[in-house]
Structure formats: C-alpha cells, structure tokens
Amino acid sequence: MESLFQQCVDTYGGVDICVPNAYYSHRAPFLELDWEETRRTVEVTMFGTFHACQLSARRMAEQGRGGKIVIISSVMAAVPHTINTSGPYNMSKGGVDTLAKTMASELVQHNITVNTIHPGWIDTRGERQFTSEAEMARLQHRLPLGIGRPEDVAEAALFMASSRADYVTGTTLTVDGGFTVAQRIPGVHADPVCGKPVHLIDDGGM
C-alpha cells in the first residue's frame, strides 16, 4: 500500500482523494466461525481501510491543500440484525464507521473531510459468491428499488469527493434503494413488497 501511494504521488503529483473499499468476508453462523477466517476478514476489511486512510491522510496533511477521504462501509454496520452469518464483516464495518468519525474530528484542522457511504444490496462479484441467481432475482423484487449497481455507489462517492461536499464531514450517505427503511424482524413483520413474513436468514447475505 505504501508503494501504491508513492506511485500516485510520482504519477499525479500528490494524493487529494482516497476511497478505501477494502473487502473480505467469511460467513458462517456465529457458533461455527473459524478464527483464522474471522481474523482475515477483520484484517482486510477494517485494518486495510485503516492503512489506506492513514497513508492518504499523511500525504494530504503534508501537501497542505486538504483532501477528501470517502470510505465505503455498509448498511450492515447500522442494521446487522437483518442478516445472518456475517458477524466478522459487520463487526469490521462498524469499526470502520467509528474510525471515520474519529478521523473527521481530528483531520478537520488539515482541511481533510472524512465521510462514509453505506451501500445496500449491490450486484457485485463479491456478493454473487454468496447469493445464487435465483436468490438475486427474488431480492430484486423484494427491495423497494431493487438491487443496486456498483455505479450507484460510484456516483455517491463522486459527489462526496467533489467540491459540492466541501461542507460535509463526519457523516454517512446511505445508498441502499430503501433497504434500511424496509427492513422488518424476520418471520415476524410482513415483507414490505409481497406482504408475507420475511425470512432473510434464508436469503443468503450481503
């Protein structure tokens, strides 16, 4: 990662924007979680983000012209009860959110803004490792605005990294197509789309 940031400086003359999107997920019921896979999830997802943020912030502070850090977190940091078997990932994203707020308060003196984005259910290669085509199709009709595209998250990141968000720091932009507001307790509340009891535990993961 240090080499990557040095390449950025050598090629572009500095670091002005950083969008950490570190991701790894080990999924299993809590009682069956493997320690090594759990640790790898935390190391990549949380510590990977930490290193990217620190390296970029150091460069930005040295340059003296401010900068933007936009961290890709997850709605699972806010509503982990809506899904099963993602404990290490949810824990990591929760840590990332807290780190972002701490960074925002400390780095404001360097004119560096720090914000997070909470994507919802996005159709990515990573998600398709855990969710079958049939499950994806079913979710497409159950979520208020359907499953999102990577471009939906990218557009949000572009806004947060632009001058239009100069007065925004320490906050979260949720890009979930209504996923968060539509959630109910699985098996208890009605599905907001089809009106039947929800069983998200059976629907794979995010």
**Structure tokens that stand for 3 in this block:** 């080499």
CA distance 87 to 94: 10
Q: Answer for the pair 82, 143: CB distance below 8 angstroms, yes or no.
A: no
Strands across the sheet with 112-119, in order?
17-18, 67-72, 112-119, 172-175
Q: Answer for the pair 168, 116: CB distance below 8 angstroms, yes or no.
A: no
**Structure tokens that stand for 196 in this block:** 């039947």
23 catalytic? Reply is no
Q: Which of 12, 23, 24, 89 is catalytic?
A: 89
For 88, 163, 176, 204, 205, the CA distances from 141, given in Å and listed in that order, are: 28, 36, 14, 15, 16
> Would you tell me how many other CB atoms lie within 10 Å of the CB of residue 182?
18
CA distance 137 to 123: 11
Active site residues: 89
